[in-house]
Structure 1
Amino acid sequence: MDIAKILEIGAQLFSQSQANTNGLSQGSIVSALSRLLGGDENGQGINFEQLLSSIDGAGLANVLQSWLGNGENHAISVDDITNIFSGSQLSDFANELNIPEQEAKTGLSEALPSMVDNASPAGEIAGELLNAVGGVSGLFNIAASLFGKK
């Protein structure tokens, strides 16, 4: 699955979340998600390796494993979002969408699991995600760190 499709799925889930997203366009959410993930407004330059490392660094290795695997995705909390992204990242994201930061965190907590899951359909890492983490060797390094083998 391509990055643009993953961002579109994330935007749709964000807009359908419990966050107050009235008046937000799909395009503005896609653009804000892309920037949050280190890319430009078109989804170019997104750094999935950094995202996976941030999720792992937030103590959510088991959650990340559920998103990348075939099983059901574990949910995350608003507090988890605060641990994954920096305060300035969340503030910038909320400001770009012109919504309160708490609403942004709520929407992200509901959208992020499916975004990562869709980057790994059927438990297989999508090509773009694999390239973003430095190929197979990069994926092995991340997996090793997730499972305490590094």
Structure 2
Amino acid sequence: MSFLNDLLGAAQGNQAGGSTLISVAGQLIEKAGGVQGLVAMLQQHGLGDAVQSWVGTGANQAISGDQLGQALQNGGLGPAVQEAAGKLGVDPGQLMGQLSQVLPQAVDHLTPDGQLPAQGQGGFDLGSLASLAGKLFGGGGNA
């Protein structure tokens, strides 16, 4: 967990303020076209069962960082992953390992009723993930 704490600590000192894992997850969701876009992309690239579990109300199925990285790369988000890893000063593979833990929680959090938001509601509020950071990392709520 020290790597995760290091990432969070580095991100909190970053003046851009958008470099926490939650923010990176949010940015990826945004670049994918919202929750619907991300879910569709991951389904198209072999993670359909896992993604459906994240949206649904049951337990979230785990995926590996390699699986997530491959799906995001194939879905056209490779450059966004590279950029985020560069900002955090970590290897993209390390970032994918951490995001494979956070992204299922983020999608789950953004689909509380087990349903994707209506198609017209693609733009989500990145702030809606702020409370998730406190739950995941036990932070003081300043995430």
Tell me which interval the TM-score lies in, with the shorter structure as reference length.
Answer: 0.5 to 0.7
Q: For this pair of structures, how many residues does the alignment match?
A: 112
After TM superposition, the score normalised by the length of structure 1 is: 0.60
Q: Percent identity?
A: 28
The residue number in structure 1 matching 2:7 is 21
The one of 105, 113, 116 equivalent to 1:114 is 105
> After superposition, what is the alpha-carbon deviation per residue over 1:42-63, rounded to whole angstroms, capped at 9, x for unaligned?
xxx9532321121101211111
Counterpart contact for 2:55–2:111, Cα < 8 Å: yes
- Report whether the alignment pairs 1:85 with 2:76: no
CA distance in 1, matches of 2:94, 2:27: 17
CA distance in 1, matches of 2:8, 2:40: 32
Q: Which runs of 5+ in 2 are unaligned?
A: 124-143
After TM superposition, the score normalised by the length of structure 2 is: 0.63
- Residues 62 and 22 of structure 1: CA distance in aligned 2, closer, same or farther (over 3 Å): closer
CA distance in 1, matches of 2:70, 2:38: 11
- Residues 31 and 60 of structure 1: CA distance in aligned 2, closer, same or farther (over 3 Å): closer
Q: Which aligned pairs between 1:32-47 and structure 2 lie closer than 5 A?
A: 32-38=24-30, 47=34
Q: Which aligned pairs between 1:1-150 and structure 2 lie closer than 5 A?
A: 19=4, 21=7, 23-26=9-12, 27=17, 28-29=19-20, 30-38=22-30, 47-86=34-73, 87-126=78-117, 131-132=121-122
| Structure 1 residue ranges (4+ consecutive) displaced by more than 4 angstroms after TM superposition | 16-20
SS at structure 1 position matched to 2:9: coil
Counterpart contact for 1:38–1:46, Cα < 8 Å: yes
SS at structure 2 position matched to 1:107: helix
CA shift, 1:23, in A, is 2.9
In the alignment, residue 93 of structure 1 is paired with which amino acid? A
Q: Which runs of 5+ in 1 are unaligned?
A: 1-15, 40-44, 134-150
CA distance in 2, matches of 1:125, 1:17: 33
Counterpart contact for 2:54–2:105, Cα < 8 Å: yes
In the alignment, residue 11 of structure 2 is paired with which amino acid? S
Counterpart contact for 1:32–1:96, Cα < 8 Å: no
SS at structure 2 position matched to 1:37: helix
